Every structure is written in structure tokens, then in C-alpha cells.
Chains A and B, each alone.
Chain A
Amino acid sequence: MKISAIITLKKDVLDPQGKVIQQALDGMGYKNVEEVRQGKYFEIDVKENDPNKAKEIVEEMCKKLLANLVIENYKIIGTQ
């Protein structure tokens, strides 16, 4: 079962890459962008058929390795 998770930077953490992307967009003529924040997306194929169990496993992975909870949040966004 494939589980999708996203990792995003917490609100108060500076995201210089997002800022530069915003500046580039601005240069391209997108003048209406308030803010850009960059994150990470993971698709993890778990050998597990129960969606709840699969989600639980990926959630544990997020806590232990995929996200650093000092600066990042994680969210399981889907199963397929």
C-alpha cells in the first residue's frame, strides 16, 4: 500500500529557498505572490494491506527520520 506524506517547515522557521523562488516568480511577472514555502513529498510503498496500519508505520517513520520535529511538521496526505 502506498502512503503519501508531506513535510513542511514550521511557521517561524526561515525558508530562504522559498524566498528566492518567490523572487524568481516575481521577476517572471507573478506580482501577486504573498509567500512561497518549500517542502518535501514522500511516497512510501509499505508491505501492508491495512491502510490504518500502513499509515501508522509511515507516521512513525516521519517522527523518527523523515521530519525533524524541531523545524518541520509532517502530514499523511493519502493512501492508494
Chain B
Amino acid sequence: MKSSVITFPGSNCDRDMDVALKKFGFKNKMVWHADTELPKSDLVVLPGGFSYGDYLRCGSMASKSNIMHSVINFANSGGMVMGICNGFQILVETGLVPGVLLRNKYLEFICKNVFVKINDKQNKYFKNVDTKVLEFHIAHNEGNYFCTNDQLKEIEDNNLIAIKYCDENGKIEEQYNPNGSIKNIAGVFNKKKNVLGMMPHPERMIDTSLSGEDGSLFFKNLINNLR
């Protein structure tokens, strides 16, 4: 399985993602934002970080960069595109996934482990994951998911919520919502569910000595689903 990780000026989780993808069997290539051609890929990842210094709105400038034309075409033709954290912010700015990410409700940068409940398994990202709740890491200032009422209706009618913030048992309540996101949303799909945007970082949970293993579970499952 081949993957590509796009590096924007200011990306800082690109190499962590490279390590994670390779650890679980992907042949990964790093792709510079100014390139126009996307290498042949089964999965394209927009990594976390602070592309373009988060100027204007997080992800707004990166969403207009050269390589994104190819990424958008790839996604529209059914290709798997995953945006993590700043990558999620870039995805919403392209319009590939609905909504926007606002400043966290209590204005603080949040860096901690959280639990998320898988809301939908009818997709290649979470199909066959052998658990309902995953422990991932979040580190963001603008992760407060917001969308219009019309978008929310479309999201719920089409079951496009991927994961929701919850407690370790999967209980979804406001107190487990770290950033003020509507409906505790931590990640959403596009309509075809080939594009996933999520705030949590699975690539930070691939080693017990560092953090945890739920990211390993996610990546092992992902490559199996793509085979």
C-alpha cells in the first residue's frame, strides 16, 4: 500500500505520520506543497502542524496551495484522504468535508489524551476496528467544530460523524467535550466517506513506551481495509 504525506510550510507532524505509516506497512512518500503532481497513492494524509503560521484562518492558505488541486481531484475521484488536526482544518477550508473549526471555547490550547467513540464503521477507516472507544491525543487551539444548521442536518441524515469525544466507556456528554465542538464532534467524513478529517492524532499513539497503542490499532486496521 502506498501513501503520501503532504508537507506544508509549518507542518510539524508530517514526520511522525511518516514513521507511523511505515511502521504499519505503508510505503510512504513525503510530498512538498509546491509540487503539482501527487505520486500514485492509496492514501493521502494532510498532517498536523501550523501551516502558514495559522495566518488568516487555520488551514486557509494551505487549502489553496499547488498540491491541493491534485489532492482535491484525487478525493473527488474516490481516493482516500485523511486530514489530522491542521490537516482537518485544511480539509474544511477546501470544502471537501463540511463545517469549520473555530477557536476552542475556553480559549486555551489543549494538549492531552482524550477518548473518542467511533460513530460509524461503514467506512474504510474504522471498519473492523475491534473496539467502540479509542484513546487518542489532541493538541490544538482551533478544534471547536462548528457548522450551519443545514450542514448539521446533512451530516446527521447521512451519518457523516466519524468520531465523538466521550469518556473511557463511550459515554458522550458535554463534560467530555474538550473544546466546545457541536455534538462532541471530533471527526467527520465527506458523503462518500473516502475523506476523513479529525482533530485527534492517531500517529501519537503507536508506542506503549511513549503514549498508548490505540493508534496502532487504527493504522493496522486501516492498511488491512485498504488491501
Chain A residues with a Cβ under 8 A of chain B: 13-14, 16-17, 20, 64-66, 68, 70-71
Which chain B residues lie closer than 8 Å to A16 at the CB level? 103-107
Chain B proximity of A23: nearest CB distance (Å): 11
Cβ-based interface call for B79 (8 A):
no
**4 closest A-B pairs (Cβ-Cβ)?**
A70-B100, A71-B100, A16-B107, A68-B100
Number of chain B residues whose Cβ lies closer than 8 Å to a Cβ of chain A = 20
Closest to B148 in A: A70
Chain B proximity of A8: nearest CB distance (Å): 14
Helix, strand, loop or mixed for chain B's interface?
Answer: loop
B102 pairs with A17, CB closer than 8 A? no
Chain B proximity of A68: nearest CB distance (Å): 6
Q: How far is the CA of A64 from the CA of B60 in the complex (A)?
A: 10
Residue among B61, B102, B104 making CB contact with A13, cutoff 8 Å: B102
Which chain B residues lie closer than 8 Å to A68 at the CB level? 57, 60, 93, 100
Pairs A–B under 8 Å by Cβ, sample size 17: A13-B102, A14-B102, A14-B105, A14-B144, A14-B146, A14-B180, A16-B104, A16-B106, A17-B107, A20-B107, A65-B56, A65-B61, A66-B56, A68-B60, A70-B99, A70-B148, A71-B146
Helix, strand, loop or mixed for chain A's interface?
Answer: helix
Chain B proximity of A48: nearest CB distance (Å): 21
Which chain A residues lie closer than 8 Å to B121 at the CB level? none
Which chain B residues lie closer than 8 Å to A65 at the CB level? 56, 60-61, 64
Chain B 71-110 interface mask (CB, 8 Å, partner A; 1/0): 0000000000000000000000100000110111111000
Cβ-based interface call for B151 (8 A):
yes
Q: How far is the CA of A66 from the CA of B148 in the complex (A)?
A: 19
Chain B residues with a Cβ under 8 A of chain A: 56-57, 60-61, 64, 93, 99-100, 102-107, 144, 146-148, 151, 180
A70 pairs with B102, CB closer than 8 A? no
Q: How far is the CA of A63 from the CA of B112 in the complex (A)?
A: 35
Q: How far is the CA of A75 from the CA of B57 in the complex (A)?
A: 18
Which chain A residues lie closer than 8 Å to B144 at the CB level? 14
Chain A proximity of B92: nearest CB distance (Å): 8
Q: Which of B93, B102, B106, B144 has the most CB of A within 10 A?
A: B102
B103 pairs with A17, CB closer than 8 A? yes
Chain A proximity of B55: nearest CB distance (Å): 11
Chain A proximity of B69: nearest CB distance (Å): 14
Q: How far is the CA of A66 from the CA of B56 in the complex (A)?
A: 7
A71 pairs with B107, CB closer than 8 A? no
Q: How far is the CA of A13 from the CA of B149 in the complex (A)?
A: 11
